Amino acid sequence: MRKKSGILEVARQAGVSSASVSRALSGHPAVSENMKARVLAAAADLGFHPNQMAQGLRRGRSTTVGLLVGDIEQGVYASLTKEIQAALETLGLDLLLYNLGHSHDRLKNILARSDSLQLHGIIIAASDTLSNDNLAVLSQKAAEQHFPILAIGLSLHGQGIPSIVYDDSEAVMRSVSHLIATRGPGIAYLGRIGGSASGTKRFSGYKAALAAHGIQIDQRLVWDAAFRYRAGHDSVERALDAGLAFRAIQAGSDELALGAMAALNARGLRIPEDVAIVGIGNIESSAYSSPSLTTHGAAPEAIAGLVAERLQKWQSNAPEIITLSRPFIRRASA
Amino acid sequence: MRKKSGILEVARQAGVSSASVSRALSGHPAVSENMKARVLAAAADLGFHPNQMAQGLRRGRSTTVGLLVGDIEQGVYASLTKEIQAALETLGLDLLLYNLGHSHDRLKNILARSDSLQLHGIIIAASDTLSNDNLAVLSQKAAEQHFPILAIGLSLHGQGIPSIVYDDSEAVMRSVSHLIATRGPGIAYLGRIGGSASGTKRFSGYKAALAAHGIQIDQRLVWDAAFRYRAGHDSVERALDAGLAFRAIQAGSDELALGAMAALNARGLRIPEDVAIVGIGNIESSAYSSPSLTTHGAAPEAIAGLVAERLQKWQSNAPEIITLSRPFIRRASA
DNA sequence: CTGAAAGCGCTTACAG
DNA sequence: CTGAAAGCGCTTACAG
């Protein structure tokens, strides 16, 4: 039942100086085998864990990485968070989670506090377009090089921040082309367009596919809606109430697609016979809807791996932009 | 373009001592209005934010609260995390997230590190039964009173830890009684039983309902399965393959229920005509399945509020146990 | 009400 | 390879 085993206790027990304890424990090269063994034994014996506040103060850097996610209740962010936490854990880093929830002020506050928290790094995973304010702060922080900043899902390449994004435009272009090929024209787009970085890209894929097939865009079939279930559901109801005809829907997220499916089912429309539907994200439940949802996959584990690498050797981080390809996952809905 | 504005810079700019800056900024009572105004002005001018590492070291306590969740990919944990993060933010606290993922070792490691992190508090939200090892560590830490520990979803009352739980046993008893009343016997139970604190309670509600109606338990209708979609899906497939007859399913989570529904739909069974089904948790998607899922609600926001209160006045925390009642949400599936 | 000074627990030049 | 000493940026008794 020790009380406050600090580095001094370990030093005393091992009969060495606190400097040596520090070096032995932190893997400093110039430490004799004998010294290392004695220190390790003493540390283990006392159940010593270095005080991270003290380490952080001295080193000018904590071991916590701030992860700013757009919306933890969305499946893709939950999966990403899980994988990133696991990856950080293997690096001995802790995850400070902030849910942005589409609030620019929140992001601003967090960025302001990042200095005082002595963050080890910041990962920003969001789909919303950021405000100019925040973009300016981010690019300044990136230039200062105090700690690595990484973007996921949106490109902050213009701010000098390494970014990992999906080929959303190409992915949607592929699936919409598939829909056109199998259903003809009358393909609706459902999803946030303005204000969303990824939304803009996805919608551009839709436009490109229509253009490639010589189809004119019908604005009544473009439903700009937020990312969650209700938005998908309500958009479809509204379209149906308006008497609009459509043979397929490309949704900007699986949640939107699933919400849309609920509305279609409720109106007695058959999927995919009457209306085919494609999502994006491959959230866990998309494989268990009725019918199962055709969608574009994600790669949270791969992203977590890339993040971990860049967190380790960040001094040499080029402001690269890595584009991941989304696998097209064909299931029953389209 | 300041470079390293610390408390000394602020003191210089305000023409006072660093001690006064500290007091003025931390709301110490014995500070003159004049002093406070000058310090605040200087601090704002320099964009000063106190170094949390230094504060933490000096105060012996950080501003980060560790939240240990069972599985962030499950909707109920994602919602809880979101609400708790928001509540902590209003208290000026940050959220350190750890995903337990049903690993006892992980919990053990985190608890071991909690001292070195100088955590402001620990919130453990999980359904798994904890190992004796971990229970012992938890009760020791609770006794030490270095920081508040709170349990959500499982009772650690026996370890002297204030706990917030749902009345799962009563809730399931109510819904299963409803199922028996409307469908007769042949009600299956689907969900983790052994190894899960909440699972055990839920199953006990099932047993109680059957007993109250004089129905003998049919072990073939008790499907012990993990909490996610696949488990629910596969359990139903197995039961159907085995030729088992059942008129309704009480699932231990919405994910299980939704997975089960997928299997029933795939086999052409109608819900609720052939098989009625009830979940637990009221995850967002449960309102958008086809048919929509009857379930038991949760109260993440209320829980976050209770947590925030107890984090603030924890010195007076009695090792209470707060039981929240789950609202029965009737939708189309039962 | 305010300031000088000690100290929280580490790490890291600096000597040796 | 090892140790003595300074110092990271705050807070808090202690005097006044």
pLDDT at A100: 95
pLDDT at A30: 84
Task: Answer for A52: CB within 7 Å of strand C.
Answer: no
Q: Which tens digits make up the pLDDT trace of B55-106?
A: 999 999 999 999 999 999 999 999 999 999 999 999 999 999 999 998 888 8
Q: Compute the mean pLDDT over every residue in chain A, rounded to the nearest whole number.
A: 94
Cβ pair A78:B73 closer than 8 A: yes
- The two beta strands, A295-296 and A328-329, are antiparallel
Residues forming a β-bridge with B95: B65
What does the radius of gyration of chain B's CA atoms come to, in whole angstroms? 25
What does the radius of gyration of chain A's CA atoms come to, in whole angstroms? 25
Which tokens hold the place of B304?
């976050």
Give B112 or B21, the one with higher predicted confidence. B21
Task: Answer for B92: CB within 7 Å of strand C.
Answer: no
Cβ pair B95:A98 closer than 8 A: yes
- Structural domains of chain B, ranges and CATH numbers in brackets: 7-50 (1.10.260.40), 61-166+299-325 (3.40.50.2300), 168-296 (3.40.50.2300)
pLDDT at A2: 43
Residues 6+ apart with CB under 8 A from A11: A17, A18, A20, A21
**CA B158/CA B181 separation, integer angstroms:** 37
DSSP state of A330: -
- Chain A residues near residue B5 by CB distance under 8 angstroms: none
Sign of dihedral through CA atoms A215, A217, A220, A225?
positive
CA of A196 to C1' of D12 (A): 49
pLDDT at B1: 37
Q: Is B56 helix (H, G, I), strand (E, B) or coil?
A: helix
Cβ pair A82:B73 closer than 8 A: yes
Count of Cβ atoms closer than 10 Å to residue A17 Cβ: 12
Footprint of strand D on the protein (CB under 7 A): A 16-20, 23, 29-32, 34-35, 54, 57-58, 60; B 4, 6-8, 18-19, 21-23, 25-26, 48, 50-51, 54-55, 57-59
pTM above 0.75, yes or no: yes
Residues 28-47 of B with CB under 7 A from strand C: 29-32, 34-35
CA of B296 to C1' of D13 (A): 54
The ranges of chain A with pLDDT < 70 are 1-4, 316-317
CA of A24 to C1' of C14 (A): 19
Convert A112-142 to b/e letters by CB count within 10 Å (16 or more is b).
ebbbbbbbbbbbbbbbbbbeeebeebbbebb
Task: Answer for B62: CB within 7 Å of strand C.
Answer: no
Among A93, A276, A116, A226, residue whose Cα is nearest residue B46: A116
Closest partner residue to A52 among B75, B99, B116, by Cβ? B116
DSSP state of B294: B
Dihedral class, residue A202 (left if φ above 0, else alpha if ψ from -120 to 50, else beta): alpha
Find out whether A178 and A249 touch, Cβ atoms under 8 Å. Answer: no
Q: What percent of chain B clears pLDDT 70, i.e. is strictly above it?
A: 98
